[in-house]
Amino acid sequence: MSVARFWRKQINRYNIVGTHCKTCDTHYYPPRNVCPKCRRDGDIEAYKFAGPGKVVTYTIIHTAAEGFEMQAPYALAIIELDEGPRFTSQVVCDPKEVSIGMRVRPVFRKLGESGDKGMIYYGTKYVPDNDRN
Amino acid sequence: MRDVAIIGVKNTNFGEMWDRSFRDIVVEAGVGAIEDSGISGEKLDGMYVGNMSGGQFVEQEHIGALIADYSGLSLDLHIPSTRVEAACASGGLAFRQAVMAVASGHEDLVMAAGVEKMTDVSSAAASAALAAAADREWEGIMGATFPGLYAMIAKMHMHQYGTTSEQLASVAVKNHKNGSMNPIAQYKNRITIDNVLNSIMVADPLHIFDCSPITDGASALVLAPADIAHEYTDTPIYVKATAQASDTIALHDRRDITTLDASVAAGKRAYEMAKMTPADIDLVEVHDCFTIAEICAIEDLGFVKKGLGGKMTEDGETAIGGKIPVNTSGGLKACGHPVGATGIKQLVEVTQQLRGDSGPRQVDGAEVGMTHNVGGSGATAVVNILSRKR
């Protein structure tokens, strides 16, 4: 992914900033410029999410995506934030520990890099929230 | 709108064809379909070609013009040719565009084709190209792979409905058996449940034998207005419905992880258009890019209650001779999955079945067949219904 393409959404990825529609009070992460429920009647504002959530479903990836070979096996999951929206992330722990419904909290982690001399991409991954499981 | 019929079909062999190029295979399919239809190529009014990623697989865009050129339909004739893209549903979409062209009266004799040449790049590069069907910025960047996305559907299906790894494997076993009777299939070997369960894990719970392969292949068919179809063939196959639906690009935004709402919507529209119900369908080609995808498909299309697709497969009800034969071609799993061609291949298979031309895998007395083609993890679905009777 190009530097500009990543940089553009840096705040959203680093700080879990999505959007909120004031018309229907629905939260979106990843951010959306158009509310799919209200469309032109929607009123979108930026919204910073608290962070914690739970695992909706997950898999342990053994055949890694390009650039993720060193991480395999890794747990890929759909996370539901406490405010409602769902998005895809990784759960960083012993893959055997991950389960559906498990409470998780966000951590700032490296996602990847553009080659040996390129930019390093950071973003939000998740770890088990052991105080709440 | 006019009624539309299929008057000619052709699939190339599916597999790793290192001696044959992108243009070689698509021209073979196109010329074959024209020969089968009995028309001559210069009579075509238009061509619609499904292709997912010529740019990434063979570094070639502008696919429509290339195919018209190498089919001999550009020189002097200048026949319009349009490339259509919706990831793995590109073929299904090309068919729908072609049907609409004929139904509207804008064009009479039209070709719908699909092609993908996937083995000219490494399997890692092919996987990266396929990953572009998901949300690059919010799924791919986190390390999602296609097997990974469908594995998350499978995990949820197992959690909610008690579906087992053995039931997933039974899809692959059945499709390899069907593929063993299909001369064009990439894999003609029969396999067992244990073969699947003992194969390497790609994305838990999906083993490598739960996944469709990387394939080269092309398929084509010729459409005509139903009123004149008998001028070309004794067995025109009529298009009773062609329906398409969209859903969220990312799996995480779906209403229900184990239901492909686009499949449900396209299926419902197709049944309404054809004035039919699932009970009217004699066979169906569904989009089994992974074993779990076939289980979801037979549920979403109304052949079995949600959650019981695994049991239905395990009980043999989707085998040839069962209640509703599913993927008589061998499906994407055994026949192969050249992504842009798959949607057309499904229509070629159903056409041959309805003509009674399918040899050892023939479904006795097949009158009505369905095809179901999915793009990505379910963001696009196309459902078509074909019939022997107008």
DSSP A105-127: EEEEEEEEESSSSSPEEEEEEEE
> Residues of A74-93 as b/e, b for ≥16 C-beta within 10 angstroms?
bbbbbbbbebebbbbbbbbe
pLDDT band, very low/low/confident/very high, at B31 (cuts 50, 70, 90): very high
- Chain B residue with minimal CA distance to A70? B143
Show me where the domains of chain A are located. Answer: 3-15+51-132
Strand B206-207 to strand B283-285: parallel, antiparallel, or no bridges (unpaired)?
unpaired
Note whether A30 contacts B145, CB cutoff 8 Å.
no
pLDDT at residue B307 tops 90: yes
Strand partners, A39: A35
Distance CA B74, CA B174 (A): 43
Q: Is residue B233 a contact partner of residue B8, using CB atoms and an 8 Å limit?
A: yes
CA A49/CA A89 separation, integer angstroms: 15
pLDDT of residue A114: 82
Best mutation target, B127, B138, B150, B255, to test chain A (most A CBs within 10 A): B138
How far is it, in rounded angstroms, from Cα B176 to Cα A11? 48
B203 touching A (Cβ < 8 Å) = yes
Q: For B92, list phi and psi in degrees, rounded to 5.
A: -60, -40
Q: Is the pLDDT of residue B331 over 90?
A: yes
Counting one residue from chain A and one from chain B, the pairs whose CB atoms sit within 8 A come to 107
Q: Which residue of B has its CA nearest to A109?
A: B142
Instruction: State if pTM tops 0.90.
Output: yes
Instruction: Give A-chain residues touching B257 at CB under 8 angstroms.
Output: 56-57, 78
Instruction: Please name the amino acid found at residue A35.
Output: C
Q: Which CATH number fits domain A3-15+51-132: 2.40.50.840, 2.40.10.10, 3.40.1280.10, 2.40.100.10?
A: 2.40.50.840
Q: What is the pLDDT of residue B205?
A: 98
pLDDT tens digit sequence for B251-269: 999 999 999 999 999 999 9
Q: Which of B124, B142, B253 sits opposite A89 (nearest CB)?
A: B142
Q: What per-residue confidence (pLDDT) applies to A112? A: 87
Whether B53 shows a pLDDT value over 90: the answer reads yes
Q: Which residues of B are catalytic?
A: 88, 337
Residues from chain B contacting residue A30 (CB–CB below 8 Å): 137-138, 250
| Cα–Cα distance for residue pair B260/B244, rounded to 1 Å | 13
> pLDDT band at B234, cuts 50/70/90?
very high
Task: Answer for the pair B221, B203: CB distance below 8 angstroms, yes or no.
Answer: no
pLDDT tops 90 at residue B89: yes
% of residues, chain B, pLDDT over 70:
100
In order of A8, B283, B288, B366, B373, the CA distances from B168 in angstroms are 41, 20, 11, 27, 19
Arithmetic mean of pLDDT over chain B: 97
Collect all residues of chain A within an 8 Å Cβ-Cβ radius of residue B144: 65, 76, 88
**Residue B368 near residue B281 (C-beta atoms within 8 A):** yes
Helix (H, G, I), strand (E, B) or coil at B324: coil
Contact at CB, A100 and B139, closer than 8 angstroms: no
Q: Quote the percentage of chain B above a pLDDT of 90.
A: 99
| Chain B stretch 94-153, residues whose beta carbon is closer than 8 A to a beta carbon of chain A | 124-125, 127-128, 131, 135-145, 147-148, 151-153
The answer to whether residue B115 scores a pLDDT higher than 90 is yes
Look up residue B300 and give its two tokens: 């979403």
Q: Is the pLDDT of residue B369 over 90?
A: yes
Average pLDDT over residues B320-328: 98
Domains in chain B, please, with CATH? 4-123+215-237 (3.40.47.10), 133-212+240-387 (3.40.47.10)
Q: How far is A9 from chain B (nearest CA, A)?
A: 9
Task: Please name the residue of chain A whose CA is at the shortest distance from the CA of residue B124.
Answer: A66
pLDDT for A5 equals 87
HSE of B202 in the Cβ direction (CA atoms, 13 Å)?
A: 24
Residue segments in chain A with a per-residue pLDDT below the cut of 70: none
